[in-house]
Amino acid sequence: MVARLPVWWAVGTMVAMVEPGRIKASYRTDLITVLLGTWFSLGLFLDAWAHSNVPELETFFTPWHAVFYSGFAATGAWILWVVWRNMQQGRRGLAAIPLGYGPAVFALPVFALCGLGDYLWHTFLGIEQGIDILFSPTHLGLIASMITILTTPLRTAWADQDVQAPSLVRFLPSVLALAFTASLVLLFASYADATIYQANGIVRAFSFDKAEGGSSGTNRLAASITVTNLILLTPLLLAARRFRVPVGTATILQIVVMLLSTAVANYENLSTAAAFVLSGIVIDVLLWKLRPSEERIRQYRVFAFAAPFVTWVSFFASAGITVGRMPSVTEMWTGAPIAAGLHGLLLAVVLVPVRR
Protein backbone atom coordinates (compact mmCIF):
# COMPACT_ATOMS: atom_id res chain seq x y z
CA MET A 1 0.00 0.00 0.00
CA VAL A 2 1.34 3.42 -0.91
CA ALA A 3 1.71 5.64 2.16
CA ARG A 4 -0.49 8.67 2.06
CA LEU A 5 1.43 11.93 2.32
CA PRO A 6 0.16 14.64 4.68
CA VAL A 7 -1.93 17.30 2.97
CA TRP A 8 0.53 20.04 3.88
CA TRP A 9 3.36 18.21 2.07
CA ALA A 10 1.31 17.60 -1.06
CA VAL A 11 0.36 21.25 -1.16
CA GLY A 12 3.88 22.29 -0.22
CA THR A 13 5.44 20.63 -3.26
CA MET A 14 3.46 22.91 -5.53
CA VAL A 15 3.56 26.67 -5.97
CA ALA A 16 0.24 28.13 -4.87
CA MET A 17 -1.25 31.51 -5.67
CA VAL A 18 -1.58 33.84 -2.68
CA GLU A 19 -2.42 37.15 -4.31
CA PRO A 20 -2.51 38.34 -7.93
CA GLY A 21 1.00 38.26 -9.37
CA ARG A 22 2.62 36.81 -6.24
CA ILE A 23 3.26 33.18 -5.39
CA LYS A 24 3.96 31.29 -2.20
CA ALA A 25 7.08 29.20 -1.78
CA SER A 26 6.53 25.54 -1.04
CA TYR A 27 7.10 24.00 2.36
CA ARG A 28 10.11 22.17 0.95
CA THR A 29 11.56 25.43 -0.39
CA ASP A 30 11.23 27.10 3.00
CA LEU A 31 12.77 24.12 4.77
CA ILE A 32 15.80 24.10 2.45
CA THR A 33 16.16 27.86 2.90
CA VAL A 34 16.30 27.66 6.69
CA LEU A 35 18.60 24.60 6.69
CA LEU A 36 21.07 26.37 4.41
CA GLY A 37 20.74 29.42 6.65
CA THR A 38 21.65 27.17 9.55
CA TRP A 39 24.90 26.35 7.75
CA PHE A 40 26.17 29.91 7.69
CA SER A 41 24.74 30.66 11.15
CA LEU A 42 26.93 27.89 12.54
CA GLY A 43 29.82 29.38 10.60
CA LEU A 44 29.26 32.71 12.35
CA PHE A 45 29.28 31.05 15.76
CA LEU A 46 32.52 29.25 14.89
CA ASP A 47 34.01 32.56 13.83
CA ALA A 48 32.85 34.28 17.03
CA TRP A 49 34.40 31.45 19.07
CA ALA A 50 37.69 31.85 17.18
CA HIS A 51 37.80 35.62 17.71
CA SER A 52 37.47 35.08 21.47
CA ASN A 53 39.59 31.95 21.94
CA VAL A 54 42.35 31.97 19.29
CA PRO A 55 44.79 34.74 20.26
CA GLU A 56 47.06 34.11 17.26
CA LEU A 57 44.21 34.76 14.82
CA GLU A 58 45.68 37.33 12.43
CA THR A 59 44.16 36.66 9.03
CA PHE A 60 40.81 36.92 7.32
CA PHE A 61 41.30 33.57 5.58
CA THR A 62 40.41 31.02 8.27
CA PRO A 63 38.51 27.71 8.34
CA TRP A 64 35.75 29.46 10.27
CA HIS A 65 35.31 32.15 7.64
CA ALA A 66 35.29 29.37 5.01
CA VAL A 67 32.30 27.70 6.74
CA PHE A 68 30.57 31.05 7.18
CA TYR A 69 30.93 32.40 3.66
CA SER A 70 30.40 29.06 1.92
CA GLY A 71 27.13 28.77 3.83
CA PHE A 72 26.12 32.20 2.62
CA ALA A 73 27.08 31.29 -0.96
CA ALA A 74 24.93 28.14 -0.80
CA THR A 75 21.98 30.02 0.71
CA GLY A 76 22.24 32.87 -1.79
CA ALA A 77 22.54 30.48 -4.73
CA TRP A 78 19.43 28.61 -3.56
CA ILE A 79 17.30 31.75 -3.20
CA LEU A 80 18.41 33.07 -6.57
CA TRP A 81 17.67 29.68 -8.15
CA VAL A 82 14.14 29.79 -6.72
CA VAL A 83 13.63 33.21 -8.33
CA TRP A 84 15.22 32.10 -11.62
CA ARG A 85 12.98 29.01 -11.72
CA ASN A 86 9.92 31.25 -11.45
CA MET A 87 11.28 33.50 -14.20
CA GLN A 88 11.62 30.45 -16.43
CA GLN A 89 7.90 29.94 -15.92
CA GLY A 90 7.23 33.38 -17.39
CA ARG A 91 7.09 35.51 -14.25
CA ARG A 92 8.90 38.84 -14.21
CA GLY A 93 9.83 41.41 -11.59
CA LEU A 94 8.30 40.97 -8.16
CA ALA A 95 6.03 38.26 -9.53
CA ALA A 96 9.09 35.98 -9.74
CA ILE A 97 9.92 36.42 -6.07
CA PRO A 98 7.87 34.23 -3.70
CA LEU A 99 5.93 36.00 -0.99
CA GLY A 100 8.23 36.67 1.96
CA TYR A 101 11.42 36.27 -0.08
CA GLY A 102 11.68 39.91 -1.23
CA PRO A 103 13.63 41.15 1.82
CA ALA A 104 15.99 38.16 1.52
CA VAL A 105 16.71 38.93 -2.13
CA PHE A 106 17.54 42.50 -1.11
CA ALA A 107 19.69 41.28 1.81
CA LEU A 108 21.91 39.08 -0.39
CA PRO A 109 23.88 41.95 -2.02
CA VAL A 110 23.94 43.79 1.31
CA PHE A 111 25.56 40.75 2.92
CA ALA A 112 28.07 40.46 0.05
CA LEU A 113 29.05 44.13 0.36
CA CYS A 114 29.43 43.81 4.13
CA GLY A 115 31.56 40.68 3.60
CA LEU A 116 33.85 42.63 1.28
CA GLY A 117 33.93 45.45 3.80
CA ASP A 118 34.81 42.97 6.54
CA TYR A 119 37.77 41.74 4.52
CA LEU A 120 39.03 45.30 3.99
CA TRP A 121 38.40 46.13 7.66
CA HIS A 122 40.47 43.17 8.86
CA THR A 123 43.17 43.86 6.30
CA PHE A 124 43.73 47.48 7.30
CA LEU A 125 42.54 47.60 10.93
CA GLY A 126 43.34 44.10 12.18
CA ILE A 127 41.40 41.23 13.79
CA GLU A 128 39.13 41.85 16.77
CA GLN A 129 39.80 39.74 19.84
CA GLY A 130 37.17 40.82 22.37
CA ILE A 131 33.92 42.67 22.74
CA ASP A 132 34.88 44.94 19.84
CA ILE A 133 33.85 42.12 17.46
CA LEU A 134 30.23 42.82 18.43
CA PHE A 135 30.41 46.49 17.48
CA SER A 136 32.29 46.29 14.19
CA PRO A 137 30.14 48.12 11.57
CA THR A 138 30.76 45.40 8.99
CA HIS A 139 29.77 42.70 11.47
CA LEU A 140 26.56 44.57 12.32
CA GLY A 141 25.75 44.76 8.61
CA LEU A 142 26.38 41.02 8.26
CA ILE A 143 24.17 40.10 11.21
CA ALA A 144 21.32 42.36 10.08
CA SER A 145 21.29 40.87 6.58
CA MET A 146 21.65 37.34 8.00
CA ILE A 147 18.57 37.77 10.18
CA THR A 148 16.64 39.12 7.19
CA ILE A 149 17.54 35.99 5.21
CA LEU A 150 16.94 33.55 8.07
CA THR A 151 13.46 34.85 8.87
CA THR A 152 12.21 34.24 5.31
CA PRO A 153 10.18 31.09 6.22
CA LEU A 154 8.49 32.99 9.04
CA ARG A 155 7.41 35.73 6.63
CA THR A 156 6.10 33.07 4.25
CA ALA A 157 3.97 31.46 6.96
CA TRP A 158 2.84 34.84 8.29
CA ALA A 159 1.50 35.88 4.88
CA ASP A 160 -0.38 32.60 4.34
CA GLN A 161 -3.84 33.05 5.85
CA ASP A 162 -4.41 29.28 5.64
CA VAL A 163 -1.74 28.76 8.30
CA GLN A 164 -3.47 29.41 11.63
CA ALA A 165 -2.87 26.37 13.86
CA PRO A 166 0.00 24.50 12.19
CA SER A 167 1.44 21.22 13.38
CA LEU A 168 5.02 21.29 14.66
CA VAL A 169 6.28 19.67 11.45
CA ARG A 170 4.45 22.21 9.30
CA PHE A 171 5.74 25.05 11.44
CA LEU A 172 9.30 23.69 11.66
CA PRO A 173 10.93 26.12 9.14
CA SER A 174 9.46 29.05 11.08
CA VAL A 175 10.51 27.56 14.42
CA LEU A 176 14.09 27.12 13.22
CA ALA A 177 14.07 30.65 11.81
CA LEU A 178 12.95 32.03 15.17
CA ALA A 179 15.47 29.90 17.08
CA PHE A 180 18.50 30.83 15.00
CA THR A 181 17.47 34.49 14.91
CA ALA A 182 17.24 34.53 18.72
CA SER A 183 20.66 32.85 18.88
CA LEU A 184 22.23 35.42 16.59
CA VAL A 185 20.74 38.34 18.50
CA LEU A 186 21.95 36.80 21.76
CA LEU A 187 25.41 36.30 20.25
CA PHE A 188 25.66 40.00 19.46
CA ALA A 189 24.46 40.79 22.99
CA SER A 190 26.89 38.33 24.58
CA TYR A 191 28.17 41.03 26.93
CA ALA A 192 24.72 40.63 28.58
CA ASP A 193 24.09 36.92 27.97
CA ALA A 194 23.00 34.98 31.05
CA THR A 195 23.05 31.62 29.25
CA ILE A 196 26.85 31.46 29.25
CA TYR A 197 27.13 31.68 33.06
CA GLN A 198 28.41 28.66 34.95
CA ALA A 199 26.68 27.53 38.13
CA ASN A 200 29.51 28.78 40.36
CA GLY A 201 29.44 32.18 38.71
CA ILE A 202 25.67 32.50 39.24
CA VAL A 203 25.88 31.66 42.94
CA ARG A 204 28.89 33.92 43.56
CA ALA A 205 27.47 36.86 41.60
CA PHE A 206 24.24 36.92 43.60
CA SER A 207 26.20 36.47 46.82
CA PHE A 208 28.07 39.75 46.20
CA ASP A 209 31.24 37.65 46.03
CA LYS A 210 34.37 39.75 45.46
CA ALA A 211 35.71 37.02 43.18
CA GLU A 212 32.90 37.91 40.76
CA GLY A 213 33.48 41.64 41.08
CA GLY A 214 31.30 42.28 44.12
CA SER A 215 28.31 44.50 43.38
CA SER A 216 29.49 45.08 39.81
CA GLY A 217 29.31 41.32 39.17
CA THR A 218 25.84 41.27 40.68
CA ASN A 219 24.76 44.15 38.47
CA ARG A 220 26.14 42.41 35.41
CA LEU A 221 24.24 39.18 36.04
CA ALA A 222 21.02 41.09 36.82
CA ALA A 223 21.35 43.07 33.58
CA SER A 224 22.17 39.88 31.66
CA ILE A 225 19.02 38.18 32.96
CA THR A 226 16.90 41.13 31.80
CA VAL A 227 18.42 41.23 28.30
CA THR A 228 18.44 37.45 27.82
CA ASN A 229 14.87 37.18 29.07
CA LEU A 230 13.56 39.63 26.48
CA ILE A 231 15.54 38.02 23.64
CA LEU A 232 14.21 34.53 24.43
CA LEU A 233 10.63 35.55 25.15
CA THR A 234 10.01 37.92 22.23
CA PRO A 235 9.98 35.20 19.50
CA LEU A 236 7.33 33.21 21.38
CA LEU A 237 5.10 36.22 22.04
CA LEU A 238 5.51 37.38 18.44
CA ALA A 239 4.56 33.96 17.05
CA ALA A 240 1.59 33.69 19.43
CA ARG A 241 0.16 36.92 17.98
CA ARG A 242 -0.27 35.26 14.60
CA PHE A 243 -0.38 31.49 15.12
CA ARG A 244 -1.62 28.83 17.47
CA VAL A 245 1.95 27.99 18.38
CA PRO A 246 2.45 24.20 18.30
CA VAL A 247 3.77 22.33 21.32
CA GLY A 248 7.50 21.74 20.93
CA THR A 249 8.30 25.23 19.66
CA ALA A 250 9.74 26.49 22.97
CA THR A 251 11.82 23.35 23.49
CA ILE A 252 13.35 23.58 20.01
CA LEU A 253 14.08 27.26 20.52
CA GLN A 254 15.84 26.61 23.83
CA ILE A 255 17.79 23.63 22.46
CA VAL A 256 19.11 25.60 19.48
CA VAL A 257 20.03 28.60 21.62
CA MET A 258 21.76 26.41 24.19
CA LEU A 259 23.67 24.33 21.63
CA LEU A 260 25.21 27.48 20.24
CA SER A 261 25.60 29.08 23.68
CA THR A 262 27.49 26.12 25.11
CA ALA A 263 29.81 26.09 22.09
CA VAL A 264 30.69 29.76 22.60
CA ALA A 265 31.18 29.07 26.35
CA ASN A 266 33.51 26.13 25.63
CA TYR A 267 30.93 23.71 27.12
CA GLU A 268 31.55 25.02 30.63
CA ASN A 269 27.89 25.96 31.22
CA LEU A 270 26.22 22.57 30.72
CA SER A 271 24.14 22.68 33.91
CA THR A 272 22.83 26.11 32.92
CA ALA A 273 22.03 24.84 29.43
CA ALA A 274 20.14 21.88 30.90
CA ALA A 275 18.04 24.28 32.99
CA PHE A 276 17.03 26.27 29.92
CA VAL A 277 16.08 23.15 27.97
CA LEU A 278 14.00 21.90 30.91
CA SER A 279 12.26 25.27 31.11
CA GLY A 280 11.50 24.99 27.38
CA ILE A 281 9.58 21.77 28.03
CA VAL A 282 7.55 23.42 30.79
CA ILE A 283 6.87 26.45 28.56
CA ASP A 284 5.52 24.09 25.90
CA VAL A 285 3.10 22.73 28.50
CA LEU A 286 2.02 26.33 29.15
CA LEU A 287 1.50 26.84 25.41
CA TRP A 288 -0.68 23.73 25.30
CA LYS A 289 -2.76 24.65 28.35
CA LEU A 290 -3.12 28.41 27.85
CA ARG A 291 -3.24 28.67 24.02
CA PRO A 292 -2.17 32.34 24.15
CA SER A 293 -3.29 34.58 21.27
CA GLU A 294 -4.50 38.08 20.47
CA GLU A 295 -8.08 36.88 20.95
CA ARG A 296 -7.24 35.22 24.29
CA ILE A 297 -5.50 38.25 25.73
CA ARG A 298 -5.76 37.18 29.37
CA GLN A 299 -4.06 33.85 28.60
CA TYR A 300 -1.52 35.71 26.44
CA ARG A 301 -0.51 37.87 29.40
CA VAL A 302 -0.50 34.98 31.87
CA PHE A 303 1.81 33.12 29.50
CA ALA A 304 4.06 36.19 29.15
CA PHE A 305 4.54 36.25 32.93
CA ALA A 306 4.71 32.50 33.55
CA ALA A 307 7.19 31.56 30.80
CA PRO A 308 10.08 33.76 32.03
CA PHE A 309 9.24 33.00 35.67
CA VAL A 310 9.66 29.28 34.98
CA THR A 311 12.86 29.90 32.99
CA TRP A 312 14.67 31.80 35.73
CA VAL A 313 13.42 29.61 38.57
CA SER A 314 15.03 26.71 36.65
CA PHE A 315 18.16 28.82 36.12
CA PHE A 316 18.72 29.42 39.83
CA ALA A 317 17.57 25.96 40.90
CA SER A 318 20.09 24.34 38.57
CA ALA A 319 22.88 26.55 39.88
CA GLY A 320 21.97 25.81 43.49
CA ILE A 321 21.78 22.05 42.93
CA THR A 322 25.09 21.99 41.05
CA VAL A 323 27.00 24.08 43.61
CA GLY A 324 25.23 22.68 46.66
CA ARG A 325 23.94 25.99 47.96
CA MET A 326 21.85 28.95 46.80
CA PRO A 327 23.19 32.51 46.50
CA SER A 328 23.52 34.11 49.93
CA VAL A 329 21.49 37.22 49.01
CA THR A 330 18.00 35.74 49.10
CA GLU A 331 16.31 38.80 47.60
CA MET A 332 18.29 38.44 44.39
CA TRP A 333 17.51 34.85 43.44
CA THR A 334 13.90 34.95 44.68
CA GLY A 335 13.10 38.33 43.15
CA ALA A 336 14.84 37.94 39.78
CA PRO A 337 12.28 35.43 38.37
CA ILE A 338 9.43 37.71 39.46
CA ALA A 339 11.09 40.73 37.84
CA ALA A 340 11.59 38.72 34.64
CA GLY A 341 7.92 37.72 34.69
CA LEU A 342 6.87 41.35 35.08
CA HIS A 343 9.12 42.33 32.16
CA GLY A 344 7.40 39.63 30.10
CA LEU A 345 3.98 40.92 31.11
CA LEU A 346 4.95 44.46 30.11
CA LEU A 347 6.21 43.17 26.76
CA ALA A 348 2.89 41.39 26.20
CA VAL A 349 0.97 44.59 26.89
CA VAL A 350 3.16 46.46 24.40
CA LEU A 351 2.75 43.79 21.70
CA VAL A 352 -0.99 43.28 22.23
CA PRO A 353 -2.47 46.27 24.09
CA VAL A 354 -6.09 45.32 23.41
CA ARG A 355 -8.01 42.26 22.28
CA ARG A 356 -8.17 41.93 18.50
pLDDT at residue 61, rounded to an integer? 60
Residue 265 lies in a domain: yes
Distances (CA, A) of 295 to 12, 159, 239, 261, 291: 28, 19, 14, 35, 10
147 and 238 fall within a common domain? no
Beta-bridge partners for 17: 23
pLDDT at residue 16, rounded to an integer? 39
DSSP label at residue 128: -
Residue 1 lies in a domain: no
Structural domains counted in the chain: 2
Residue 26 lies in a domain: yes
- Give pLDDT tens digits along the chain (356 positions): 334 444 333 333 333 334 455 788 888 999 999 899 888 788 777 766 665 566 565 555 667 677 878 888 899 999 999 999 988 887 877 888 898 899 999 999 998 898 888 878 777 776 666 677 788 888 899 889 989 999 999 999 998 888 888 999 999 999 999 999 999 999 889 889 999 999 999 999 999 876 666 678 899 999 999 999 999 999 999 999 999 999 999 999 999 999 888 877 878 899 999 999 999 999 999 999 999 999 999 999 999 999 999 999 999 999 999 999 999 999 999 999 999 999 999 999 999 998 87
187 and 151 fall within a common domain? no
| Domain with 107 in it | 16-162
Of 162, 182, 211, the domain-final residue: 162
pLDDT at residue 275, rounded to an integer? 96
33 and 75 fall within a common domain? yes
pLDDT at residue 342, rounded to an integer? 98
123 and 221 fall within a common domain? no
Task: Bin 201: left if φ > 0, else alpha if -120 < ψ < 50, else beta.
Answer: alpha
259 and 352 fall within a common domain? yes
pLDDT at residue 233, rounded to an integer? 97
Residue 3 lies in a domain: no
Half-sphere exposure of 318 (CA within 13 A, CB side): 23
Residue 10 lies in a domain: no
Distance, CA of 310 to CA of 320 (rounded, Å): 15
133 and 188 fall within a common domain? no
pLDDT at residue 160, rounded to an integer? 85
Residue 9 lies in a domain: no
183 and 326 fall within a common domain? yes
pLDDT at residue 244, rounded to an integer? 94
Amino acid identity at 277: V
91 and 144 fall within a common domain? yes
Of 162, 188, 220, the domain-final residue: 162
Residue 327 lies in a domain: yes
pLDDT at residue 2, rounded to an integer? 39
Give start and end residues of each alpha helix (H) in the chain.
7-12, 27-53, 63-88, 102-125, 137-150, 152-159, 168-187, 199-205, 215-242, 249-264, 270-290, 297-323, 330-351
* pTM of the predicted structure, to 2 decimals: 0.85
46 and 150 fall within a common domain? yes
171 and 157 fall within a common domain? no
Residue 4 lies in a domain: no
32 and 138 fall within a common domain? yes
Of 127, 162, 197, the domain-final residue: 162
Secondary structure (3-state) at 92: coil
83 and 145 fall within a common domain? yes
